[in-house]
């Protein structure tokens, strides 16, 4: 069993990110890029879209920790769509397996290549600080997305765009207490200490401890690849058949939890389960009632908004643009899982084709 005091002592009370201003700004930007009667119209690459000035074809580099992970498919669509809107281009680079050295090398390459802006997933508390500062010193704006080290103010990035990871973990911990009430619980994490997921488990542990509920928890590392994650979760259950809840803080482990729950019919036996993200298999098993929830953090926005912010920074001479932006937390349950499964959407990453979708009636 591990306490919640590690990795910078994440505790409830971190400043919540305010998304309203960023959302409003994005709406104004999108409106400004539409064709108008006065003659303003969308431009080609670097051609002065809407009411914005003519610009070079800015190149924004995204440094990612798991470049081939399907979770980031909608993120890449968000980058593509914002780039097409503004006439910019982008590079998607980093590491396939969360190797920090590879990510730092990618950042250094972007800096030496005079990138116009960099967005980086800060999955290590210190390794990115020097290259971020070096980029800023050379006039290259840098924002964090998806992961933000130990939190805002602990690295030089101009802003963070992504879920408030610790707060989302607190909310998951509260849901665990509601569902399980007492007994042993397993908390699965792909890579311990990785700062795009560790704050979630820290937050969940804090919420469990603060509740005073008689719940004992184990924190189990599952690995970075889906087959490995599934095998480790299955093996854990085989050795802990008294477990009353199994929960995960990353996409792959959540799918693995759902598959193990299905394999052994655990939900029918009173075991409760849930986790994060919208992998199709997770949603399918959620709809079938094998787990209780998964959490949506809107990865499309984690690609779309950084492009907007870097662009605004460039055209405003650094006077506007970067803004702390919480992309949200939504509990998806059995009742609404079908909407995600039945609607092919570029915004959720399961369709390349742009489509106009109607929101369901509330």
Regarding whether 75 and 224 lie in a shared domain, the answer is: no
Regarding whether 319 and 281 lie in a shared domain, the answer is: no
Give the mean pLDDT of 219-244: 95
Q: Would you state the pLDDT for residue 132?
A: 98
- 241-253 pLDDT per residue, tens: 999 999 999 999 9
Q: Would you say residue 34 has pLDDT above 90?
A: no
Q: Would you state the pLDDT for residue 362?
A: 63
- 94-129 pLDDT per residue, tens: 999 889 999 999 999 999 999 999 999 999 999 999
Regarding whether 241 and 303 lie in a shared domain, the answer is: no
- 165-203 pLDDT per residue, tens: 999 999 999 999 999 999 999 999 999 998 989 999 999
**In a domain? residue 11:** no
Regarding whether 145 and 125 lie in a shared domain, the answer is: yes
| CA proximity to 250, closest of 71, 94, 11 | 71
Regarding whether 209 and 145 lie in a shared domain, the answer is: no
Find the helix or strand (DSSP H, E) in which 85 lies.
helix 73-86
Regarding whether 147 and 263 lie in a shared domain, the answer is: no
- Predicted confidence band at 43 (pLDDT cuts at 50, 70, 90)? very low
**In a domain? residue 317:** yes
Domain containing residue 320: CATH number: 3.40.50.2300
Query: Could you say which DSSP state residue 116 is in?
Result: S
Regarding whether 96 and 212 lie in a shared domain, the answer is: no
Rounded (10°) angle between helices 301-315 and 73-86: 30
**In a domain? residue 42:** no
Q: Would you say residue 33 has pLDDT above 60?
A: no
Give the structural domain span for 240. Answer: 165-296
Give the mean pLDDT of 207-230: 95
Q: Would you say residue 62 has pLDDT above 60?
A: yes
**In a domain? residue 14:** no
- 303-351 pLDDT per residue, tens: 999 999 999 999 999 999 899 999 999 999 999 999 889 888 888 887 8
Give the chain's domain count: 2
Cα distances (Å, whole numbers) of residue 239 to 186, 215, 242, 259, 282: 12, 18, 9, 17, 23
**In a domain? residue 348:** no
Regarding whether 225 and 107 lie in a shared domain, the answer is: no
**In a domain? residue 44:** no
**In a domain? residue 38:** no
Q: Would you state the pLDDT for residue 106?
A: 98
Q: What is the mean pLDDT of the chain?
A: 88
Regarding whether 318 and 283 lie in a shared domain, the answer is: no
Give the mean pLDDT of 287-295: 98
Regarding whether 287 and 218 lie in a shared domain, the answer is: yes
**In a domain? residue 34:** no
Regarding whether 128 and 214 lie in a shared domain, the answer is: no
Which residues have CB under 8 Å from 203's CB, separation 6+? 4, 10, 12, 165, 166, 167, 168, 169, 170, 171, 172, 173
- Predicted confidence band at 3 (pLDDT cuts at 50, 70, 90)? very low
* Integer Cα distance of 253 and 189 in angstroms: 7
Regarding whether 321 and 277 lie in a shared domain, the answer is: no
Give the mean pLDDT of 269-283: 96
């Amino acid at each position: 069993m591990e306490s919640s005091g590690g990795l910078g002592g994440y505790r409830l009370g971190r400043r919540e990110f305010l998304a309203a201003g960023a959302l409003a700004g994005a709406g104004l930007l999108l409106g400004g890029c539409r064709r108008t009667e006065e003659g303003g119209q969308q431009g080609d690459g670097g051609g002065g879209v809407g009411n914005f000035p003519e610009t070079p074809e800015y190149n924004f580099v995204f440094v990612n920790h798991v470049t081939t992970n399907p979770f980031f498919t909608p993120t890449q669509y968000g980058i593509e769509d914002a780039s097409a809107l503004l006439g910019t281009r982008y590079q998607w680079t980093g590491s396939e397996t969360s190797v920090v050295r590879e990510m730092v090398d990618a950042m250094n390459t972007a800096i030496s290549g005079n990138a116009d802006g960099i967005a980086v997933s800060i999955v290590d508390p210190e390794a990115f600080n020097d290259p971020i500062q070096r980029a800023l010193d050379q006039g290259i704006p840098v924002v964090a997305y998806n992961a933000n080290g130990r939190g805002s103010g602990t690295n030089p990035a101009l802003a963070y765009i992504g879920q408030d990871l610790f707060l989302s973990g607190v909310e998951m911990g509260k849901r665990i207490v509601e569902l399980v009430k007492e007994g042993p619980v397993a908390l699965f994490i792909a890579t311990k200490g990785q700062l795009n997921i560790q704050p979630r488990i820290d937050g969940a542990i804090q919420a469990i401890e603060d509740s005073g509920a008689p719940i004992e928890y184990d924190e189990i590392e599952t690995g970075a690849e889906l087959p490995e994650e599934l095998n480790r979760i299955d093996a854990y259950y085989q050795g802990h058949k008294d477990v009353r809840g199994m929960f995960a803080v990353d996409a792959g482990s959540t799918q693995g939890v759902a598959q193990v729950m299905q394999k052994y019919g655990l939900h029918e036996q009173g075991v409760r389960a849930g986790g994060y993200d919208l992998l199709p298999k997770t949603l399918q098993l959620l709809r079938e009632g094998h787990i209780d929830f998964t959490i949506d953090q809107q990865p499309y926005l984690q690609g779309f908004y950084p492009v907007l912010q870097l662009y605004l920074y460039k055209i405003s001479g650094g006077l506007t643009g970067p803004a702390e932006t919480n992309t949200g937390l939504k509990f998806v349950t059995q009742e609404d899982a079908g909407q995600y499964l039945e609607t092919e959407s570029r915004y959720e990453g399961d369709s390349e084709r742009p489509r106009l979708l109607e929101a369901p009636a509330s």
